[in-house]
Structure 1
Amino acid sequence: MQRNGSFWQSLTRTKPTEEIVGEGGQGEGGRLKRTMGLWQLTMFSVGATLGTGIFVILGEAAPLAGPAVVVAFALAAITALFSALSYAELAGTIPVSGSSYSYAYATLGELVAWVCGWCLLLEYAVSVSAVAVGWGQYLNEFLNGLFGFTIPAALSAPPGDGGVVNVTAIAVVLLATWLLLGGASESARANAVMVVLKVAVLLFFCVVAFTAFDSGNLTPFAPMGIAGISAAGAQVFFSYIGFDAASTAGEEARNPKRDLPLAILLSLVIVTVVYVLVALAAVAAVHYSDLAGSEASLAMVLTNVIGGSWAAVLLSLGAVIAIASVVLTVLYGQTRILFAMSRDGLIPKIFSRVNPRTQVPTANIWLVSAFVALLAGLVPLGRLAEATSIGTLFAFALVNIGVMVLRRTRPDLERSFRTPLFPLTPILGTLFCVFLMTRLDHVTWLVFLLWILVGLGAYFAYGHRKSRLARAVRGANTP
């Protein structure tokens, strides 16, 4: 622990990895409970990654790459893999709840860790709200197809888009809250069931679509060449965001050093296989040009292959389950990152207060869920939702840099997983993240920079003074 009291060193002070790991699970008034195995952790990451994106993304990506959209999904997976390998190494070395926030605290210092954690707040809170907003649409499609009625738009549509209060968005957030309050193991079991169901729906789509396989639809394979494939790859990359969800469960995993790296990499493999199969089945069943502009591309493919409306009903059910799973896992990750930040003194202690009976941070869950529910139900998010991508890429870049820093500063640490081809892998991971960030809209950058400025104000007004590390340094320097 650094003892120099200069202002600059107070911003760059790092927290020893032994101290971070030693605090694992301990919060105000109790400890988190280690209940999750490899299966539950993998399902958490799959649940957070496999959302509604695949149900709509083909309509946006296929026109860019043609049938080679299959390659675009594989290319995006390789891009994500570089960061996933860095996450796997740090998750196995520093298996705690804070994910990239805690990794940055151990490698890049308190200020960078705060900015990382602050960016994750934007990513998680806004992304889960934006996802929840769309739940009513898919729920109505399912209810209409099955029972012939829908929930009024005033109660199921986003505010400003025909809705007054998006009650359905609030409902799915409250459902996830109820599961989270029951305990980590209960949440993990519910999520695993939802993940199995949504994967089953997508595999069913593949089976049906492959019955209409037409090799003619795959030629020419790459009509727009490499440029089209790379453009589509950059677009579908965001369908892979969420593979790091398991890293937020570091203090509730039974064998974190072994299981966290495996869960992160396994989830990426599972999601990639599903995406590639779905993309191949779709572009082989219909001509890629028919997918252009379709917001329900998979439903269109099934209707084209077998006719009738029941296929669309089934896919809408898959989307309803997918959204519920994403809301659950992302809310979970949000609360655990806040738990770690609170334990470090950077935000109020109430976020790290653990219920001794359920062994979960109850007040934290209620506060986060209430904020997300209000955001989803009452606020027109609009383009703000796009800002979640830049926050995620920023966190990914920091993790890649953190791996290189920790290898240099603490080569003696026990690492249950080592990133292969070091340092090439984390360097490529960082460069890919920066490249994708540059492709985002200027409005997204403006929101991101404003959010960071607000975060810096909050840090210097509260976190810098209240930090446990700062208090320890001040105590050591006091005669």
Structure 2
Amino acid sequence: MNLMRTKAIEQSIADSEEPGRKLKRSLSTWDLMIMGVAVAVGAGIFSVGAKAAANFAGPAVTLSFAIAAVTCALAIMCYAEFATAMPVAGSAYVFTYATMGEILAWIIGWNLILELFTAAAVIAKYWGIYLSKVFALTGVDIPPSFNVGGVDLYWGAFLIVAIFTVLLVMGTKLSARVGNVFTMIKIAVVLFVIVVGFLYVKVENYSPFVPTSVPTANDGGADVMKQSLFSFLSGAAPAQYGTMGIFAGAALVFFAFIGFDVVATSAEEVKDPQKTLPRGIFGGLAVVTLLYILVSLALTGMVPYTELAKAESPTLTTAFEAVGNTDAAKVIAFGSLIGLTTVIMVLLMGLSRVVLAMSRDGLLPRALSVTNAKHSTPARIQIICGAAVALVAGLTKVDLLEEMINIGTLSAFVVVSLGILVLRKKRPDLKPSFRVPFGKVLPIVSAALCVYLMTNLAVETWIFFAGWLVIGLIIYFAYGQRHSRLNERFADAKEFASQGSKED
């Protein structure tokens, strides 16, 4: 049993051309750029910054966003180098398979499923809640859920997931065009909120820029589970604000940047990937970073961070209400709904592409990876993923697992960053069109930053993550390892070597 066996890059590229399992190259640089903005700029732009400012960083939340953006940029450089070297679906999973071996590739693929599935389910549920809020603002009272047999059914999640599942089955280019329209609308809404927000900015609200660190209220065992792993291991008392608060805020707002690894999963559907991928990914990241920093500056300049901290769930609406502009709530509610719409679409697409790649390799049932003859889309996987996301989002309290999204993303970022070093050593003959600058330095810095952000996630998140990994390993050894297509290739290689030795 060779758990560290790798799959040749040439074989991954050849498998992507397999009849009946082939995707169509139809996406341009613009499509990729908009896709990155679409998945990163969601309702979180109206809430995650407010939560980080209120509970962790104060006005220095701007630095939290900058740290998260730099961490993401370093990791995305590594993704871009990999993707231009092997432009196939699967992202971090296929990159790991080519460099670090099958067992690690399975773990990363399993973590990507965790990230994308949980994110899609959480956001689909929130979409339904925001839809009810928009209705309420127009005078129509439709509750976000109905009680059916003692279970709360969030009908909005079923609706939005069903719509985008159908669109994605009908074609990646078609869904990208729909996503482009929604993305331009939500960028306009965000810009409106920024401009109006800056009209209320008071310079004194930025002081102190980095609030003095204070201990959090002690809540016994529950507090231990909620504190960061770093605090738990170091013995430091859980605290808010200060320098550590900036990094804790960065770990929280990193959620805003998870979309860019999803963009890399579309490498197999991109026209001229050697040029298109780097331009599209970095262009989208630049737009997202600028928008988030401007929103955070407007937010913390409008009201003191202490005012935000008084709210149970602080959002941009909290800030606008504090300055007396209640009409902005309608714009923010509409923007949140539009923002979440495209996020769900890109996450559903990314999820199906990761499962497609793992299915092609036999680690998941091969029947799943068959593509639609008319539209060249993985219809079976897309429908199964859509149904699973809708059921979990519509029937469970999946929002309790929000931090699982971050830990799944960061774990993939760590492996991809280190994988670049392995790729360069094993395949110096490869000449990808994009290479991470400064040799080994930036990939190592990227991995270190991602590990540090992971340690700033809650202890309970790590416990859930460990449970997810155990389940994944059970599935791998019970099914994936036995059905891996590398078994056939290794068997053929052994037979060839055996015949050669007999002839000698």
**TM bucket normalised to smaller:** over 0.9
Alpha-carbon shift at residue 335 of structure 1 (Å): 0.5
Q: How far, CA to CA, are the matches of 2:344 and 2:144 in structure 1? A: 21
Change (3 A) 1:438 1:230: closer
Partner in structure 1 of residue 330 of structure 2: 313
Separation in structure 2 between the aligned mates of residue 429 and residue 151 of structure 1, nearest angstrom: 46
Whole-Å Cα distance in 1 between the matches of residues 368 and 438 of structure 2? 39
Counterpart of 1:442 in structure 2 is: 459
Contact 1:124 1:334 (C-alpha < 8 Å) held by counterparts: yes
Alignment correspondent of 1:164? 152
Sort the Cα spacing of 1:25 and 1:336 in 2 relative to 1 into closer, same or farther, 3 A.
Answer: farther
Q: Does 1:324 align with 2:315?
A: no
- 1:399 Cα deviation from its structure 2 partner: 0.3
Give yes or no for contact 1:250–1:256 (8 Å, CA) kept in 2.
yes
Q: Which amino acid aligns with 2:360?
A: R
* Aligned match for 1:342, one of 346, 356, 359: 359
Superposed CA deviations along residues 148-199 of structure 1, whole A, max 9, x for unmatched, are 12222433x9x99x96211111111111112101101001111111211111
Q: Tell me whether 1:197 sits opposite 2:188 in the alignment.
A: no
- In 2 relative to 1, CA 211–240 (structure 1 residues): closer, same or farther, beyond 3 Å? same
Tell me if 1:36 matches 2:27: yes
SS across alignment from 1:11: coil
User: 1:88 and 1:228, CA in 2 relative to 1: closer, same or farther beyond 3 A?
Assistant: same
Q: 2:90 aligns with which of 77, 92, 98?
A: 98
- Secondary structure of the residue that 2:181 maps to in structure 1? helix
Q: Is the 8 A contact 2:157 2:394 kept in 1?
A: yes
Moved more, 197-206 or 215-224: 215-224
Q: State whether structure 2 residue 414 is matched by structure 1 residue 397.
A: yes
Q: Is the 8 A contact 1:209 1:305 kept in 2?
A: no
Contact 1:343/1:349 (8 A) holds in 2 = yes
Which residue of structure 2 aligns with residue 289 of structure 1? 306
- Paired with 2:17 and 2:347, the residues of 1 have a C-alpha distance of 19
Counterpart of 1:178? Answer: 166
Report the CA distance shift for 1:305/1:384 in structure 2 as closer, same or farther (over 3 A): closer
Residue 201 of structure 2 is matched in structure 1 by 213
CA apart distance, 1:470: 1.4
Q: Which residue does the alignment assign to 1:4? A: none
> What amino acid is the match of 1:247?
A
Distance in structure 2 (CA, Å) of the matches to 1:232 and 1:442:
16
The CA deviation at 1:397 is: 0.6
Q: CA deviation at 1:273?
A: 0.2
Instruction: Give the C-alpha shift of residue 250 in structure 1.
Output: 1.0
- CA deviation vs aligned residue, 1:24-62 (integer Å, no higher than 9, x gap): 3535x2521111000111111222222222211233211
TM-score, normalising length: structure 2: 0.88
In the TM superposition, what whole-angstrom CA distance separates every residue of 1:107-136 from its partner, at most 9, and x where no partner exists?
001111111111111111112101111112
Deviations 1:271-309 (A, max 9, x none): 100000101111222222222236352123334456343
Q: 1:326-370, CA deviations, whole angstroms, 9 ceiling, x for partnerless residues? A: 110000001011111111111112221111111101111111111
Any conservation in 2 of the 1:350–1:364 contact (CA below 8 Å)? no
User: 1:98 & 1:316 partners in 2: Cα distance?
Assistant: 34
Cα distance 1:175–1:265, how it changes in 2: closer, same or farther (>3 A)?
same
Whether the 8 Å CA contact 2:84–2:277 is kept in 1: the answer is yes
Instruction: Confirm or deny: 8 A CA contact 2:255 2:405 kept in the other structure.
Output: no
Separation (CA, whole Å) in 2 of partners of 1:130 and 1:421? 38
Q: How does 1:275-286 map to 2 (within 5 A)?
A: 275-286=292-303
Which stretch of structure 1 is more off in the superposition, 80-89 or 94-103? 80-89
* Residues 1:22 and 2:10 are matched in the alignment: no
Q: Tell me the distance in 1 between the aligned counterparts of 2:174 and 2:151.
A: 33
Contact 2:151 2:395 in 1 (8 A): no
> How far is the alpha carbon of 1:234 from its aligned partner?
2.6
In structure 2, the partner of 1:56 is 47
- Structure 1 231/382 Cα, relative in aligned 2: closer, same or farther at 3 Å? closer
Q: Distance in 2 between matches of 1:436 and 1:414?
A: 32
CA contact (8 A) 1:401 1:427 kept: yes
Assess, with a 3 A threshold, how the Cα gap between structure 1 residues 113 and 458 changes in structure 2: closer, same or farther. same
CA RMSD of aligned residues (A): 1.9
Moved more, 362-371 or 211-220: 211-220
Equivalence for 1:238: 255
Question: Residues of 2 paired with 1:323 and 1:296: CA distance?
Answer: 18
> 1:80 maps to what in 2?
72
Residues in 1 aligned to 2:467 and 2:314: alpha-carbon distance in whole angstroms: 34
Whether the 8 Å contact between 1:250 and 1:260 is mirrored in structure 2 is: yes
Name the aligned partner's letter for residue 201 of structure 1. Answer: V
Contact 2:368 2:381 in 1 (8 A): yes
> Which residue in the other structure is 1:379 paired with?
396
Find the partner of 1:45 among 29, 36, 45. 36
Q: Distance in 1 between matches of 2:83 and 2:297?
A: 33
Asked if structure 1 preserves the Cα contact closer than 8 Å seen for 2:136 and 2:142, the reply is no
TM-score normalised per structure 1: 0.93
Percent identity, please: 40
Q: Which residue identity lines up with residue 42 of structure 1 in the other structure? A: M
In 2: Cα distance, 1:463 partner to 1:71 partner? 43
Question: Match for 1:166: what amino acid?
Answer: Y
Cα deviation, residue 382, structure 1:
4.9
Matched residue SS, 2:87:
coil
Segments of structure 2 that go 5 or more residues without pairing to the other structure are: 213-241, 500-504
Q: C-alpha distance in 1, partners of 2:314/2:190?
A: 13
Deviation digits for residues 241-286 of structure 1 (CA, Å, limit 9, x no counterpart): 1112221111110111111122222221111000001011112222
Separation in 2, partners of 1:435, 1:67: 22
Alpha-carbon separation, structure 2, partners of 1:16 and 1:256:
19
Q: 3-state DSSP class of the match of 2:200?
A: coil
Q: 2: distance between equivalents of 1:262 and 1:94? A: 16
Secondary structure of the 1:44 match is helix
Per-residue deviation at 1:379? 1.9
Mapping of residues 3-14 of structure 1, within 5 Å: 7=1, 10-14=2-6
Report the residue type matching 2:317 in the other structure: A
* 1:260-275 equivalences in 2 (<5 Å): 260-275=277-292
CA contact (8 A) 1:55 1:296 kept: no
Letter of the 1:101 counterpart: Y
Q: Structure 1 residues 211, 382: CA separation in 2 closer, same or farther (over 3 Å shift)?
A: closer
